[in-house]
Amino acid sequence: MKTLALRIALLCSVAVLTACGSDTPTSAVDNSTTRGTLVENPPFRIASVDAMTLAAELGASASGTQLLQVTGAPACGVDFNYMHYYTVNASPTGDVPASASAALMIPTGAAPACSGPRPILLYAHGTQTDKAANLADITDPNNSEGALIAAMFAAQGYIVVAPNYVGYDTSDGTFHPYLNADAQSKDMIDALTAARKALGKVLASTTTDNGQLFISGYSQGGYVAMATHKALQAAGMTVTASAPMSGPYALEAFGDAVFFGKVNLGSTIFTPLLTTSYQKSYGNIYSATSDIFEDAYSASIEGLLPSTTPIDTLISTGKLPQLQLFNSTTPVTGNATLDALLAEPSDPNDPRTPLFRLGFGTMNLVKNSFRVAYVADAAGQPDGALLPQPTFQLATAPTNTLRLAFKQNDLRSWIPQVPVLMCGGGNDPVVFFPVNTITISYWWEAQGVPVARTAVAIPTSLVTVLDLEAGLGAGDPFALAEGGFATAKGAIYQAAYDSTVAAGGDAAAADQAGQFAVVQSYHTTVAPFCSAAARGFFSQFLGG
């Protein structure tokens, strides 16, 4: 995917593309800060590529060829437009105006599926640490998610609206409201409103909105996609179907699981993003950052992410630990229940124990005192999803302010009225599939929502749950995505295995290296295959 962006950048540099933004018409400028205002209309066109060129450039590299195998050959060309719009950010006293930017990818070409009235895909991206990230800039070699959604959706006839979010790129937001359901859904809706004002005025003026709206996103974006579906439904706005992927929907249960010692990969990145977001949104998460974070990190951690400094540099300069969320010398409270929950994971029968233990050490991010307070609240006011006999209900009355924020933003709070596909990987070490996707699906089921976990149940169900590891059984319409995911994992394992053997390692060391490589890349490997499943799911509603 990165190769596609790089090659398009090279094509722009030699002027092979139809346009790289230079022929965008003069735009009218709207200086209003009203929500949904499109600042420049038409927006700036960064690049334009036809279907044949896109297919050729994808096929010119191994990674591009692999992507083509998942997306299929492009049916359409794509115009990449760069929008600026106004939305709001959160604050303890209410919404405040904020500017933001987004990608508007418009299909082009003579094929019937590439112009005229077309469906819109509103897409939410995954967690970004790079403050300068811009999905619209397909010439950026690091814009792999932009390349994926361009090839998967825009090149197949969807108008794609993909916000960069408040706090990123040119946004004047003073922080990013990470996993704040209200703020992030407003951002998405305002980007959609702005994009609809551009359609018909951009260079690809014959491609217009047919009224169908699909919503999707991955990881953080899976959460944001679901929150946006909820908000649009509450506002009475049309949603055709949604496909949130690998998202942390059950935030309270997920947070509790992590604080109980099931530390996910990436936790030292997600935690400061969350605490800054909720502190700036609600004003009550801490009195000082040192209430939560060790002194080695607390002075600079608020607002550290997103950053223009690479994450590797933040780690190497001691701004963040790489993996160690909690201290390996776990506290002893004298309460047997609490002490058991606080102990470093040691179950030899749980294959995830080595992964969880990576989150403990002496250079830890979170103070023991804060962890004890959180775990005491979670033990006294348990989330039903983590009980031995789960009820999947939220805690009744938590008092820890971080848990309260998790509860407020947990998505066990609505019932979908149009079809939803939730896709992910059952062994995801970053966003735990059982704690999030399975929890909310059972919660919905308890509210009377028909949920399909097998192919047989799909025709009569409103919600479909797809675990790429397990599939949906006989007649599974997503079998190709599941098979592709299995093949991709196998290739990752084999490459690490062979590399270890070539370096002189024995079979045991090579196997360990292969398994570790799969775990490290698992979350990102899921993305294109769940995206393919989402497109297949949406296809049954096109033109309806």
Helices 368-380 and 401-409, axial angle in degrees (round to 10): 60
DSSP annotation of 43 = P
- Residue 108 in any domain: the answer is yes
CA angle 209, 213, 215 (to 5 degrees): 135
Same-domain pairing of 108 and 256: no
- Residue 246 in any domain: the answer is no
Q: Give the containing element (helix H, strand E) for 218.
A: strand 207-218
**Distance of alpha carbon 541 from alpha carbon 73, whole angstroms:** 21
Using an 8 Å Cβ cutoff, are 250 and 436 in contact? Answer: yes
Question: CB neighbours (10 Å) of residue 221?
Answer: 29
Distance of CA 305 to the CA centre of its chain: 16
Domain boundary among 206, 239, 272: 239
Question: CB neighbours (10 Å) of residue 185?
Answer: 22
Q: What pLDDT is stored for residue 1 in this prediction?
A: 44
Q: What pLDDT is stored for residue 12 in this prediction?
A: 46
Question: CB neighbours (10 Å) of residue 38?
Answer: 27
- Residue 542 in any domain: the answer is no
Same-domain pairing of 197 and 339: no
Bridge-based pairing of strands 463-467 and 451-452 is parallel
Same-domain pairing of 281 and 375: yes
- Residue 540 in any domain: the answer is no
Domain boundary among 201, 218, 239: 239
Which residues, 6 or more positions from 71, have their beta carbon under 8 angstroms from its beta carbon? 148, 151, 152, 155, 156, 528, 532
Q: What pLDDT is stored for residue 16 in this prediction?
A: 36
Same-domain pairing of 391 and 441: no
Q: Which residue from 33, 32, 9, 37 is spatially nearest to 21, judged by alpha carbons?
A: 9
Using an 8 Å Cβ cutoff, are 1 and 54 in contact? Answer: no
Partners of residue 40 on adjacent β-strands: 29
CA angle 407, 439, 365 (to 5 degrees): 55
Question: CB neighbours (10 Å) of residue 504?
Answer: 7
CA angle 388, 393, 398 (to 5 degrees): 95
- Residue 534 in any domain: the answer is no
**Distance of alpha carbon 105 from alpha carbon 294, whole angstroms:** 43
Partners of residue 406 on adjacent β-strands: none
Question: CB neighbours (10 Å) of residue 332?
Answer: 11
Contacts 24+ apart (CB under 8 A), 538-544: 538/119, 538/121, 538/214, 538/240, 538/241, 538/243, 541/212, 541/214, 541/240, 541/241, 541/419, 542/119, 542/212, 543/212, 544/212, 544/240
Token pair of 364 as six digits:
């830890």
Global pTM reads: 0.96
CA angle 516, 518, 519 (to 5 degrees): 65
Angstrom distances, CA of residue 283 to CA of 5, 91, 286, 406: 40, 8, 8, 14
Same-domain pairing of 370 and 402: yes
**Distance of alpha carbon 177 from alpha carbon 227, whole angstroms:** 13
- Residue 537 in any domain: the answer is no
Q: What is the pLDDT along the chain (544 residues), one digit of tens a residue?
A: 454 554 444 344 333 344 444 455 678 999 999 999 999 999 999 999 999 999 998 888 887 888 889 999 999 999 999 999 999 999 999 999 999 999 999 999 999 999 999 999 999 999 999 999 999 998 898 999 999 999 999 999 999 999 999 999 999 999 999 999 999 999 999 999 999 999 999 999 999 999 999 999 999 999 999 999 999 999 999 999 999 999 999 999 999 999 999 999 999 999 999 999 999 999 999 999 999 999 999 999 998 999 999 999 999 999 999 999 999 998 999 999 999 999 999 999 999 999 999 999 999 999 999 999 999 999 999 999 999 999 999 999 999 999 999 999 999 999 999 999 999 999 999 999 999 999 999 999 999 999 999 999 999 999 999 999 999 999 999 999 999 999 999 999 999 999 999 999 999 999 999 999 999 999 999 999 999 999 999 999 998 5
Same-domain pairing of 305 and 176: no
- Residue 349 in any domain: the answer is yes
Question: CB neighbours (10 Å) of residue 345?
Answer: 17
Using an 8 Å Cβ cutoff, are 60 and 71 in contact? Answer: no
Number of domain units in the chain: 3
Which residues, 6 or more positions from 368, have their beta carbon under 8 angstroms from its beta carbon? 326, 327, 329, 330, 331
Using an 8 Å Cβ cutoff, are 159 and 116 in contact? Answer: no
Please identify which residue in the block is written with the tokens 């010439």. 139
Using an 8 Å Cβ cutoff, are 210 and 119 in contact? Answer: yes
Q: What pLDDT is stored for residue 24 in this prediction?
A: 58
CATH number at residue 128: 3.40.50.1820
**Distance of alpha carbon 412 from alpha carbon 429, whole angstroms:** 22
Return the sign of the alpha-carbon dihedral for residues 72, 74, 78, 80.
positive
Using an 8 Å Cβ cutoff, are 243 and 437 in contact? Answer: no
**Distance of alpha carbon 236 from alpha carbon 193, whole angstroms:** 14
Q: Which residue from 192, 195, 74, 78 is spatially nearest to 138, judged by alpha carbons?
A: 78
Same-domain pairing of 205 and 343: no
Same-domain pairing of 65 and 157: yes
DSSP annotation of 435 = I
Q: Give the containing element (helix H, strand E) for 253.
A: helix 251-259
Same-domain pairing of 228 and 87: yes
Same-domain pairing of 367 and 438: no
- Residue 536 in any domain: the answer is no
Using an 8 Å Cβ cutoff, are 410 and 226 in contact? Answer: no
Domain boundary among 239, 274, 293: 239
Range of the domain at 299: 251-409
